[in-house]
């Protein structure tokens, strides 16, 4: 399947990594960025299709790499290798590699072409599409970045064969989120089907939702906030847990209090099937503070996304205090 996003194509095709030459420019230098946890053969395969003078840069795996030092290192590598405005950057990795190298591409010579080949399920169903790139700064996630859409996104389900199960489930949580808000058929795959045997359908349906939302509201003025379902509380939990829980796991927990009780019950059954948590132990006050910090809106109320029945969402302005009560329903507090 090929999905048309805002000005670029997303190619979803089993084995497309082996045919990446059909989509990448062979007559230009490419900086292929990957990380130390991604099997090296993926970046090597991509390099084999790139023009003369292309090279691979392998950054350390993990969120900590989304920083100014590594960004600088990528820019210096391009400068030293004589990259011009004609040359390009290709990410081969998860959301960390994609966010960082997309941002590097956006600022080198005021912007050179960027291609993304996401290799985690989370990056395939979510972060590689929508044009957001960023690094973290002063302990704040994604605070320095740019909207910078790629030229193409290549999604090959085969690369998921090397991904640890916990990482796969982490990505399924984001896809489940899209089903919860916008597609009851996608939700149905999770509730009554076998998600592990339906990965391609899950990727396609998730990206159809994400591209539809982003096409209508790229800069997150309104509708795009639907993608934040489960993220308001989820981000607070993620910050407090300091890496102990993955992003998708925090979103899984964060979705529960935003559903009607009947839907929350159905959601919990699915989360259990996917080995995802539906509660955690944590410091409620710290989660609340992190959640408020993350909202950065300066408003008294927060626009939250609610799901009363799978496939349908609504926005509601809520008070921070009411969200604190919701946090208490999924976090077994350490300070109560
Ligand atoms: N730009 C956006 O719109 C957006 C949206 C959501 C998340 N994000 C960002 O995405 C990042 C998280 O992305 P992620 O979950 O992909 O994490 P990640 O990039 O850290 O990858 C997770 C781990 O999997 C390893 N890995 C990657 N592909 C593999 C493969 N095929 N086989 C084996 N191991 C593999 C990596 O080395 C890493 O250790 C965060 O920084 C988050 O802020 C961005």
Share of the chain above pLDDT 70, in %: 97
- Classify strands 140-147 and 132-137 as parallel, antiparallel or unpaired: antiparallel
> Same topology for domains 2-161 and 164-333, yes or no?
no
What tokens were used for 88? 């390009």
Question: What is the CATH T-level fold of the domain 164-333, as seen in this structure?
Answer: Dehydroquinate synthase-like, alpha domain (1.20.1090)
DSSP-derived 3-state class of residue 302:
strand
Q: In the predicted model, is pLDDT for residue 117 greater than 90? A: yes
Q: Is the minimum distance from the CB of 236 to ligand 1 under 6 angstroms?
A: no
- Token look-up 């210096």 returns 76
C-alpha 221 to ligand 1 mean position (Å): 26
What tokens were used for 180? 């919860």
Q: Whose CA is nearest to atom 5 of ligand 1?
A: 127
pLDDT digits (tens, 9 = 90+) for 196-233: 999 999 999 999 999 999 888 877 788 889 999 999 99
C-alpha 335 to ligand 1 mean position (Å): 32
pLDDT band of 298, cuts 50, 70, 90: low
Say how far apart CA 327 and CA 304 lie, in whole Å: 13
The alpha carbon of 123 is separated from its chain's Cα centroid by a whole number of angstroms, namely 5
**Given this model, what pLDDT does residue 336 score?**
52
Say how far apart CA 15 and CA 158 lie, in whole Å: 6
Helices (H), 108-164: 121-122
List the single range of 46-60, 197-211, 288-302 with lowest mean pLDDT.
288-302
Q: Is the minimum distance from the CB of 249 to ligand 1 under 6 angstroms?
A: no
Of 132, 226, 124, 208, nearest to 171 (Cα)?
124
Say how far apart CA 108 and CA 116 lie, in whole Å: 16
**Given this model, what pLDDT does residue 293 score?**
79
Share of the chain above pLDDT 90, in %: 89
pLDDT digits (tens, 9 = 90+) for 153-195: 999 999 999 999 999 999 999 999 999 999 999 999 999 999 9
Domain boundaries, the chain: 2-161, 164-333
Q: Is the minimum distance from the CB of 119 to ligand 1 under 6 angstroms?
A: yes
Q: What is the mean pLDDT of residues 260-284?
A: 97
Say how far apart CA 175 and CA 181 lie, in whole Å: 10
Question: What is the CATH T-level fold of the domain 2-161, as seen in this structure?
Answer: Rossmann fold (3.40.50)
Mean pLDDT for all residues in the chain: 94
pLDDT digits (tens, 9 = 90+) for 65-113: 999 999 999 999 999 999 999 999 999 999 999 999 999 999 999 999 9
């Amino acid at each position: 399947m090929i999905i048309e996003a805002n000005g670029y194509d997303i190619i979803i095709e089993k084995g497309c990594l082996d045919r990446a030459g059909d989509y990448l420019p062979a007559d230009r230098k490419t900086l292929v960025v990957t990380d130390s946890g991604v099997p090296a053969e993926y970046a090597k395969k991509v390099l084999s299709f790139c023009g003369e003078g292309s090279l691979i840069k392998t950054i350390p795996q993990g969120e900590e790499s989304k920083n100014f030092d590594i960004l600088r290192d990528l820019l210096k590598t391009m400068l030293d290798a004589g990259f011009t405005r004609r040359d390009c950057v290709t990410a081969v990795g998860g959301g960390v590699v994609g966010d960082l190298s997309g941002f590097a591409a956006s600022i080198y010579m005021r912007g050179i072409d960027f291609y993304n080949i996401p290799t985690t399920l989370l990056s395939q169903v979510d972060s590689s599409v929508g044009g957001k790139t960023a690094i973290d700064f002063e302990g704040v996630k994604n605070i320095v970045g740019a909207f910078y859409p790629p030229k193409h996104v290549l999604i090959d389900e085969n690369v998921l064969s090397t991904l640890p199960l916990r990482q796969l489930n982490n990505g399924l949580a984001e896809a489940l989120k899209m089903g919860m808000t916008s597609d009851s058929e996608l939700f149905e795959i999770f509730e009554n089907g076998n998600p592990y045997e339906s990965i391609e359908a899950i990727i396609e349906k998730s990206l159809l939702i994400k591209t539809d939302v982003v096409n209508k509201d790229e800069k997150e003025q309104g509708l795009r906030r639907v993608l934040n379902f489960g993220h308001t509380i989820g981000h607070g939990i993620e910050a407090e847990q300091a890496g102990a829980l993955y992003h998708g796991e925090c979103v899984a927990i964060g979705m529960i209090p935003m559903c009607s009780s009947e839907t929350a019950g159905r959601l919990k059954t699915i989360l259990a099937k996917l080995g995802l948590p539906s509660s955690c132990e944590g410091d409620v006050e710290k989660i609340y503070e992190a959640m408020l910090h993350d909202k950065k809106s300066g408003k008294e109320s927060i626009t939250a996304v609610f799901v009363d029945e799978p496939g349908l969402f609504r926005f509601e302005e809520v008070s921070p205090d009411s969200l604190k009560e919701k946090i208490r329903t999924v976090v077994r507090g350490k300070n109560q």
